[in-house]
Structure 1
Amino acid sequence: MSRVLLNNYSTFVDSIKRESGDKSCPIWLLVNPKYPEDTTNIWSPILYEIQDMVYRKLHARINNRNIFVSHAVSDIVRVPSTSINAEVANNIEVLRESVFEHQPKLIFTFGAITNEFVRRIFYRKPENGSKYWSTSNLGDEFERSIANFDISQINWIPLVRRIPKTCKNLKDWEESNNYYRDVAAKIAAKIIENKDSLKIWI
């Protein structure tokens, strides 16, 4: 394989790894590439609960195959708390352009890094370091995003990184499940309320 073809192939493969789904879908997931399993360990149980609640209320289901998934940061451990290096700055600008072009209605982030990354896409101040986003602060930010939900705008909804495999006993497992159900109920309520404005249905 020639060097040109090899470079093109590598770029194509990298694009597949970085993105999946349809950018025109109103639901976007922004994932830290260090934790790609978040879409399975966190989003899947939340989506399962959302689908159940939506079906019971609307007798409809969300087409989850179209949900757009993108890596928020290409290949770094964390978003710097003060200066932003060239790669991160470029990723922010590229994703910012994509977000404002496609206008997704719900952008979900997972944990501290992707949350801070999206804050900078929307020029939110102050630029807090990723360490600022404790579980408690992320939980508060989630509640604010739900309280201020506006279907006419882009709504970014931060999710706490809670991974089932860290559960050591029945209590931990129940707390994780309760978190998923609680979060899913609040998201599902907004989806149901704005069902006619969301092109997400099978």
Structure 2
Amino acid sequence: MVKAADLKEELFIVLIPKKSDLVKALNIQEAISKHYDLYNEDDYPELHITLNRINKKYIKEAKEIIEEVVQDYRKSSIELEINNLECFCLSEKFLVLKVDKTDSLISLSTQLHQKLANKNLSTISNYEEWSFHMSLISNIFAKNPIPDQDFKKICSILDGIPQKISTIGERIEVWRPTLDKEKKVIASFKL
């Protein structure tokens, strides 16, 4: 199992999908968020796929590697396929869209991980166990976390429900672990 992120020491390398294709997912996120008053002023977590994590002190080196990897993917699309909702019940609760392992996503993520790992920049040691997903709801940054019993009820209703979404990745970004839009994005690379 992949170790949980160290939010004080790590940054996230994320793939941002085309937002206009995510209307169904955004509607689910908004409905649950508003019902439980989870976040400040509709400041929902931006839908993304975490590709990797790095220690924040290696941002300069990581940006160089990302720029190099992105060059290989600017002429082709990173195809993203989502087929259903899933609940992750770890120490924090997550309702996620499970992202299928398309050839282009595997190619991009593997190349990125190998280059980061070769320079000892990736903080993920068992990348073969990495699960691609987009978090719709997370209690990590919630001002009013969903109570366990309610979360279990949501999961029993939504877990495994088909949510067919096809989209593409638009850019790769390096993020701090925050919902604050002013502080979150450290670097952005258009695909």
Query: TM-score, structure 2 length as denominator?
Result: 0.29
More helix by share: 1
Rg: which structure is higher?
1
More strand by share: 2
Higher relative contact order (CA 8 A, sep 6+): 2
